[in-house]
């Protein structure tokens, strides 16, 4: 996040903006409540966008060339480079403007949401963006808080309210917040309007769980000061639950809210392909400068001879004779630069932009990425990163809601050493079948009932307030219960209480200090005496209750490691075995125990508890001692197993990612045991893995020592795979001093799990890997606002459209509905996009080398007089019209391997990892190929035509334009055919543009040269083309040269395929063998039929059946 500039360390807020009347009070300036995620405004769009575009090497270079053409007398007109440049800049600007407009739209939706504010004695409806610091805001049930509020009052007398922060930190449980007693009584607008109070608090900071402040309430003559902590702060983005309405005062607004401070600022993400492209451009710039300097030097070397310096047919003017040598040299150099400048392909950028923009629609259209239950399809927010999906090396995933459904379900339990499962709303012991003689038991046994009562009493579950208002609560006249709606701070507790109520022991709510339980229809009241709260060190919680018969009972539940050692009776060994079995199935386990107190014991406990709770010094330690004293000599009742349901196909997806050579890290806010058990059940950790732990370190030295030991262990037994578990505190220690060592350990582990992570810690881990020496490509995937900073930090951020709000989706690059869609997104879309764009980029450089090298060679035959070989219309249209469409269509539709094969063989993903297709070798191959073809064009034409110029039947002569046109014609045909050779997947569109481009070139040339156009001041090309084509030998030359160029290429392809096939090529062969129809996957329909059937039949008639050889060519 960013730190807003502030003058002082605290801010003073006058509630309802009642500033003191006396003295010179200068109000502090606060930000308004607008959230801004967009990059441009209407005013700065043009300058900012132009600045960003001219930061690209090619655009800036073309601008310079354009200016040079305007300033000096150059061989080609300024339009040749001005027009393409203008076209490129406009198209890109429109695309980026449109994407930003979508962001504006999303922002306006948030900023314009209606809210109610207390102003001048009444409720006023206004927009979210108009809330000011100090306003009193009313929020109703199930609404999200529009700003960070300090709670003043709620509809409850004690001023408490329940909040879920799912969209902030991913926790779906309910949190209780309370108001200070002085304001809690002000429950109406009229009363609040009379409130005179001042809040002093710290300036905004990103930590979600910290808030320090105090409120001073003026009543009659005295001023009452109360402390404010995180329990009275309601965060923007959280949701009000189980409470009719609350009033709160706005303390942090807009971009200063904790939610906004946890966002990283959006930096422009750039893909690896774009970086390779820039380095290739620089190489080509060097080639260009070399050619220009060489030509200039050769020109002067040539002109040193008298007869060439000033031949009789081209005498110099006075002005030319007297101009300075240096100026002439510079202007010659610039002229050559302009002549050769097309070796840098300007239209490359615009083709890439269009390819990315149009290509991104395929992701949204893909039916395999569509989720029917929620009616959500994949969504693309940034189309600049499509090909990065094919380069991922690390996946960082959130756990709750991303790998799991975030829904707890009761699965089985162990009572008194017997395992039970829930079958049709009955608890049935294992091995029991419905029809066994004992199967129709309706009553519960004593132990079972006691166990279920323990589950129903030992918890912090609340009941939805709307349901308990009736006279006899949720029971209708006929005695049938309407299902109660429970709210809990932990989803596990909720699942257990719900399960108990289905089986027959129903918790019907608390009133005052008693808890009500209905066991098999008869109601019982337990008086709640004490609650011993859960804490992470004890890892258990307890309640002490008085039963209807007057007995004092303690019920405890917690992790088995904290309950079993304290139990003295009950089926301890059997239960331990059962707990291990549950954990192996990936269930979250809890043990339940109880203890009866004699009256004397209870008095002693009450006294000790009271002393500890009111102690001023060392309160925590004293309480811990008393809790330990109370929770001992327990009688074990049993254990429960609750499942956080995994999303479907998570295991297969993680396995596929691993096969593809991608390392998966799970980063979660969950506690250690839960995280490990889910990791095991989703296949992230294997049973055979050696799991190393780096947890609960408080000091730097112990952490470093542990790291060294882990590194040593990994070196010693490098045969087996290792998994690493780290928690948040140890992680921050490890990152502070021992980054290198930590990275060393992580890289040698095949799976890493980080638990108890704060949102910004997740981003730190991603940045750590992203900036490590290998610079791997990272992908982060998550569903809550706690994942936003990680999603923005990674190269590719993916949001899951889950239950936790839309924060993650809004800030991601891609959004999908389920984790399992990740494999199709990477292995199919990512793979194809990468192949397409890699070929696109290199082909562009190749066709421009083919284009300009003959121009360079031609200078040797025209005394370096900067005479151009091609007409300037051809120069302008070569990249825009004649050769642009085939490669664009290729880069949209190419599927070198069938999508089903790509998805079923994740190993193929390794073939393209580490930017393999855009490395130096393939680049060198394409460049050399370009030079080779250019030499063949030029010297082939020269050998066949150059010496004997009388090639026409009537003895007419050839001119230089005819020669240039011949070279150009051969070039257009060869370059287009080369693209056709690269294409594996033919659709009718490919056929149309490939052959259409060649036909268009011929028709255009006939029209351009066959008519005298009034608006052209010179027409060198008049009738040239028609004449050329009327010569038989010209046709012979064209066919011969094209075949000569492509023949070697075909031979090379065939040999390589047979002698050294890559795994991708092998996959193409198997696919051809399995006879997948080569037109099936033309459209993104899962069945492959539907929309294309008619087109396909027609095409098959045209092409014959597609034989395997043809698919595979």
* C-alpha of 31 from chain center: 29
What single-letter DSSP state applies at residue 649?
T
Q: Give the number of other Cβ atoms within 10 Å of residue 720's Cβ.
A: 11
Q: How far apart are CA 570 and CA 277, in angstroms?
A: 71
Q: How far apart are CA 865 and CA 56, in angstroms?
A: 32
Residues 6 or more apart in contact with residue 257 via CB below 8 angstroms: 147, 148, 204, 235, 236, 237
* C-alpha of 623 from chain center: 45
CB 30 within 8 A of CB 256: yes
What single-letter DSSP state applies at residue 696?
-
Q: How far apart are CA 324 and CA 210, in angstroms?
A: 74
Determine the 3-state secondary structure of 1093 from DSSP. Answer: helix
CB 192 within 8 A of CB 179: no
Residues 6 or more apart in contact with residue 475 via CB below 8 angstroms: 481
905 exposed, middle or buried (CB, 10 Å; 0-12, 13-18, 19+)?
A: buried
Q: Give the number of other Cβ atoms within 10 Å of residue 276's Cβ.
A: 20
Residues 6 or more apart in contact with residue 1017 via CB below 8 angstroms: none
Determine the 3-state secondary structure of 121 from DSSP. Answer: coil
Angle ∠(661,664,670) on CA atoms, nearest 5: 170
Q: Which helix (H) or strand (E) holds 391?
A: none
Residues 6 or more apart in contact with residue 1105 via CB below 8 angstroms: none
* C-alpha of 1002 from chain center: 47
Structure tokens at 36: 């801004």
Strand partners, 781: 397, 798
Angle ∠(313,316,318) on CA atoms, nearest 5: 145
- Phi-psi category of 539—alpha, beta or left, where left has phi over 0 and alpha has psi -120 to 50? left
What single-letter DSSP state applies at residue 537?
T
Structure tokens at 124: 């006023």
Could you please report the per-residue DSSP string of 599-643?
HHHHHHHHHHHHHHHH-SSSHHHHHHHHHHHHS-SEEEEEEEEEE
Helix/strand/coil percentages in the chain, nearest 5: 50, 20, 30
Length, in residues, of the chain? 1113
Residues 6 or more apart in contact with residue 363 via CB below 8 angstroms: 369, 378, 380, 386, 814, 825, 829
Residue located via tokens 């006249």: 477
292 exposed, middle or buried (CB, 10 Å; 0-12, 13-18, 19+)?
A: buried
CB 405 within 8 A of CB 644: yes
Q: Would residue 398 show up in a list of annotated catalytic residues for this protein?
A: yes
Sign of CA dihedral 487, 489, 495, 499: negative
Which of these is catalytic: 398, 492, 644, 871?
Answer: 398
Residue located via tokens 């409540």: 33
Structure tokens at 440: 């129709």
CB 560 within 8 A of CB 582: no
CB 564 within 8 A of CB 591: yes
**What amino acid positions are annotated as catalytic residues?**
398
């Amino acid at each position: 996040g960013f730190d807003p500039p502030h003058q002082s360390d605290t801010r003073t807020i006058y509630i309802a903006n009642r500033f003191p009347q006396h003295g010179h009070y200068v109000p502090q300036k606060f930000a308004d409540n607008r959230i801004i995620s967009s990059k441009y405004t209407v005013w700065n769009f043009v300058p900012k966008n132009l600045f960003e575009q001219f930061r690209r090497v090619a655009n800036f270079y073309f601008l310079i060339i354009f200016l040079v053409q305007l300033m000096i007398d150059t061989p080609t007109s300024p339009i040749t480079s001005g027009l393409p440049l203008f076209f490129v800049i406009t198209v890109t600007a429109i695309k980026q403007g449109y994407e930003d407009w979508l962001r504006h739209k999303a922002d306006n939706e948030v900023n314009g949401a209606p809210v109610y504010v207390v102003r001048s004695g009444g409720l006023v409806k206004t927009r979210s963006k108009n809330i000011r610091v100090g306003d009193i805001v009313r929020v109703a049930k199930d609404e999200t808080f529009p700003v960070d509020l300090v709670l003043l009052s709620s509809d409850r007398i004690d001023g408490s309210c329940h909040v879920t922060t799912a969209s902030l930190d991913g926790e779906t449980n309910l949190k209780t917040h309370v108001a200070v007693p002085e304001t809690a009584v002000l429950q109406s607008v009229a009363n609040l309007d009379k409130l005179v109070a001042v809040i002093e608090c710290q300036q905004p900071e990103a930590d979600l769980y910290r808030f320090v402040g105090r409120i001073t309430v003026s009543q009659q003559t005295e001023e009452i000061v109360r402390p404010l902590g995180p329990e009275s702060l309601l965060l923007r983005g959280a949701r009000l639950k189980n409470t009719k309405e609350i009033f709160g005062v706005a303390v942090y607004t807009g971009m200063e809210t904790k939610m906004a401070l946890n966002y990283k600022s959006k930096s422009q993400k750039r893909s690896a392909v774009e970086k390779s492209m820039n380095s290739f451009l620089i190489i080509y710039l060097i080639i260009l400068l070399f050619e220009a300097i060489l030509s200039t030097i050769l020109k002067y070397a040539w002109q040193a001879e008298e007869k060439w310096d000033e031949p009789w047919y081209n005498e110099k003017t006075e002005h030319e004779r007297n101009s300075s040598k240096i100026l002439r040299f510079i202007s010659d150099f610039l002229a050559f630069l302009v002549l050769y400048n097309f070796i840098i392909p300007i239209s490359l950028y615009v083709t890439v932009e269009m390819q990315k923009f149009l290509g991104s629609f395929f992701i949204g259209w893909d039916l395999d990425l569509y989720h029917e239950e929620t009616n959500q399809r994949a969504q693309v927010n940034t189309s600049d990163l499509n090909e990065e999906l094919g380069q991922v090396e690390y996946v960082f995933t959130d756990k709750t809601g991303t790998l799991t459904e975030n829904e707890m379900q009761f699965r089985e339990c162990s009572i008194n050493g017997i395992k039970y499962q829930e079958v049709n709303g009955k608890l049935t012991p294992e091995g029991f079948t419905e029809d066994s003689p004992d199967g129709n038991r309706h009553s519960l046994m004593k132990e079972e009932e006691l166990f279920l009562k323990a589950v129903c009493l030992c918890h912090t579950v609340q009941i939805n307030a709307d349901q308990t208002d009736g006279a006899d609560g949720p029971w209708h006249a006929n005695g049938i219960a309407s299902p109660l709606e429970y709210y809990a701070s932990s989803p596990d507790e909720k699942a257990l209480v719900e399960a108990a109520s289905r089986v027959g022991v129903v918790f019907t709510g608390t009133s005052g200090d008693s808890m009500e339980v209905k066991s098999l229809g008869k109601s019982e009241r337990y008086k709640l005496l004490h609650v011993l709260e859960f804490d992470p060190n004890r890892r258990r919680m307890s309640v002490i209750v008085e039963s209807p018969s007057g007995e004092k009972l303690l019920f405890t539940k917690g992790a088995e490691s904290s309950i079993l050692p304290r139990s003295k009776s009950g089926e301890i060994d059997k239960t331990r075995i059962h707990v291990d079995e549950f954990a192996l199935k990936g269930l979250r386990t809890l043990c339940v125990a109880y203890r009866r107190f004699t009256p004397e014991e209870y008095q002693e406990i009450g006294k000790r508890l009271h002393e500890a709770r009111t102690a001023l010094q060392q309160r925590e330690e004293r309480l811990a001692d008393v809790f330990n004293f109370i929770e001992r000599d327990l009688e074990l009742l049993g254990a429960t197993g609750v499942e956080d349901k995994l999303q479907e196909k998570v295991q297969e997806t993680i396995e596929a990612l691993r096969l593809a050579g991608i390392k998966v890290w799970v980063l979660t806010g969950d506690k250690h045991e839960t995280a490990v058990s889910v990791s095991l059940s989703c296949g992230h950790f294997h049973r055979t893995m050696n799991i190393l732990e780096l947890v609960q370190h408080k000091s730097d030295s112990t952490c470093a020592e542990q790291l060294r030991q882990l590194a040593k262990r990994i070196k010693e037994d490098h045969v087996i795979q290792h998994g690493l578990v780290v928690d948040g505190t140890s992680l921050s220690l490890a990152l502070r001093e021992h980054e290198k060592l930590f990275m060393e350990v992580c890289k040698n582990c095949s799976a890493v799990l980080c638990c108890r992570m704060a949102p910004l810690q997740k981003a730190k881990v991603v940045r750590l890997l992203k900036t490590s020496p290998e610079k791997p490509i990272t992908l982060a995937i998550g569903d809550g606002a706690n994942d936003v900073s990680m999603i923005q930090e990674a190269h590719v951020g993916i949001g899951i459209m889950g239950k936790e709000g839309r924060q993650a989706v809004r800030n991601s690059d891609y959004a999908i509905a389920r984790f399992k869609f990740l494999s199709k997104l990477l292995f199919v879309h990512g793979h194809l996009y990468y192949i397409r764009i890699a070929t696109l980029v290199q082909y562009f450089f190749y066709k421009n080398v083919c284009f300009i090298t003959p121009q360079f060679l031609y200078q040797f035959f025209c005394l370096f007089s900067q005479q151009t070989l091609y007409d300037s219309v051809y120069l302008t249209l070569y990249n825009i019209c004649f050769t642009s469409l085939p490669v664009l269509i290729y880069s949209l539709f190419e599927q070198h391997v069938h999508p089903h094969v790509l998805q079923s063989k994740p190993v193929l993903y390794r073939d393209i990892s580490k930017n393999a297709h855009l490395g130096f070798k393939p680049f060198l191959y394409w460049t050399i190929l370009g030079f080779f073809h250019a030499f063949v064009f030029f010297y082939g034409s020269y050998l066949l035509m150059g010496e004997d110029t009388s090639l026409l039947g009537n003895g007419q002569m050839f001119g230089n334009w005819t020669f240039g046109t011949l070279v150009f014609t051969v070039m257009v045909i060869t370059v287009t055919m080369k693209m056709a050779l690269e294409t594996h997947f033919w659709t009718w569109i490919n056929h149309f543009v490939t052959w259409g481009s060649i036909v268009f070139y011929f028709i255009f040339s006939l029209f351009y040269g066959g008519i005298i156009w009034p608006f052209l001041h010179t027409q060198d090309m008049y009738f040239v083309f028609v004449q050329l084509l009327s010569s038989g030998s010209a046709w012979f030359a064209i066919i011969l040269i094209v075949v000569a160029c492509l023949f070697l290429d075909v031979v090379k392809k065939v040999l390589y395929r047979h002698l050294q096939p890559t795994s991708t090529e092998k996959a193409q062969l198997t696919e051809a063998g399995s006879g997948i129809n080569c037109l099936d996957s033309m459209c993104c329909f899962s069945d492959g039929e539907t929309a294309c059937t008619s087109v396909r039949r027609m095409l098959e008639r045209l092409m014959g059946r597609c034989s395997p050889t043809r698919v595979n060519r």
